[in-house]
Amino acid sequence: MTREEIAGLIYWEKIIWLIGLINPLFMLPQLWQIWKTRIVVGLSLPTLGILILIQGGFAAHGFFIRDPIIMWSNSGATAMSVAVVFSIIYLRYLSE
């Protein structure tokens, strides 16, 4: 059985669309928790910066290979991670 046959058998295209929709929502619980508790101790800005670079890289990859699922999913994930970083910076350094 070929890869293409297996992909068709397990409805891979539908699975990847679902994953593409879930990916940008990955950081939503973290963002909600930050604004609910206003506690940002222990959250690492360098780690989140690396995550943003990875997500942005995959978004660019999706653009260059013309794959809208990868591009939009990772663009949304990048935007959500950037919102978390800005929230941390705001609560850690600018509020008070």
| 3-state SS track over 45-94 | HHHHHHHHHHHHHHHHHHHHCCCHHHHHHHHHHHHHHHHHHHHHHHHHHH
Count other Cβ atoms within 10 Å, centred on residue 27.
Answer: 23
Q: Specify the CATH number for the domain of residue 12.
A: 1.20.1280.290
Can you read off the two tokens belonging to residue 21?
């929709």
Query: Please, what is the angle between helix 68-89 and helix 28-37, to 10°?
Result: 20
For residue 6, which amino acid is it?
I
Write down the pTM of the prediction.
Answer: 0.87
Spell out the per-residue pLDDT of the chain, length 96, in tens. Answer: 999 999 999 999 999 999 999 999 999 999 999 999 999 999 999 999 999 999 999 999 999 999 999 999 999 999 999 999 999 999 999 887
Range of the domain at 30: 3-94
* Structural domains counted in the chain: 1
